[in-house]
Structure 1
């Protein structure tokens, strides 16, 4: 009787290295190598710009945006942590040509994903906005002042980039609204306010959002809901106003309504 003993063979089969030397392994190494090269080149350019041309990025960016939008735009500082992929912007101010403030912020920190460079969808892991200011005015004649920031319409329909934001956090905000269509003008200020938004983008379903702020005089505003960008901007949720001052509230009630306190 003859016994056949089969030995277990480990490692690689002849002609096929076990370390992934096939076409798939080579493509993976090329992909990782290309990504590493992009990171190194980006880090080198950013470091060189900060060392040899300080302020160049801020001035160039402010100038280009001001020219395109016909506004007065200033930006104090732009820095980046190239390896982890974090962009920092400081003290942005946007004013109209008469010098009236429109929007601005103290700090913006963007944590973006290097892998999204290889994807058709830009991925931002997180965005932290600190100290935003919004100054909205409805003049007696004309349109809302914030509409001045919209670029002039063009005849061409250009599809914007696809993007996804995993988390947005806004802190220490100020929203000032003034309605000059009535006499005397009515004004309200929401400060400080905070806003949190998760999972929103061009291809996303409803993003979860929360808004909390102080209206002054002890009054408070709270909103919890969802925001969707497709096929059009929509939002739904629950709004809660607490500790309202009735005399202040009545200033916003139209005079022709039969309501008196």
Structure 2
């Protein structure tokens, strides 16, 4: 059955939804996006995603879409129209179309393009991979320098996922100057003793909404946290490793470049954090 999607103020069947070929997201990857998870028909961490979206727009000097203040209602309506119990809502804002291709930003009177659509993912919270754990490979980080802005420039992360798939693994961790930055679409962590270690915030990584929530819950659970860089070798020698994202929540990592992490099975801290995150997030979902 066709999904109902949202394009610039209209709810449309997906096959009737169109965007101009001159839209800058198509020509220049001049767009930003967010993905919000849905559990039990409710939105997880919506306020965090909306705040990060606003930051991304500001960093790129991009106008807010006219419907910015209505985004919560739009998300909820899409959940209702598409009968989503577990899944995700993808949102994208581009700088819009000035009618022709040009490297220069269009004038301020050009309206941004706003698109949203749902993805139905039954069993999202009960993924079997959470019991098995991810296997990852390491790759050079060859992305642009402003990874803190959630842009649609996703070609290299896509290449990284394909490299991982070719190696029989689930994902890739990217390396810059000898240290892990992040996964292709997630933040990366290791555990040594009772300490959770994850890269400090900066322009090198995305400021994950799930990352912020998980670290907050970890602190509340009296877990020790260090925000610093770490190497692949340190990760391979850690007791545990895991990733966080809006689509995987907290996902254990059990192998890095063919070397088992810890016992080669999901560890107790990652498992507990996933349990806490899902429990607490459901309580405040809207």
TM range (shorter): under 0.3
- Of Structure 1 and Structure 2, the greater strand share is in 1
Q: Which has the higher contact order (CA 8 A, sep 6+)?
A: 2
- Of Structure 1 and Structure 2, the greater helix share is in 2
TM-score normalised over the length of structure 2: 0.20
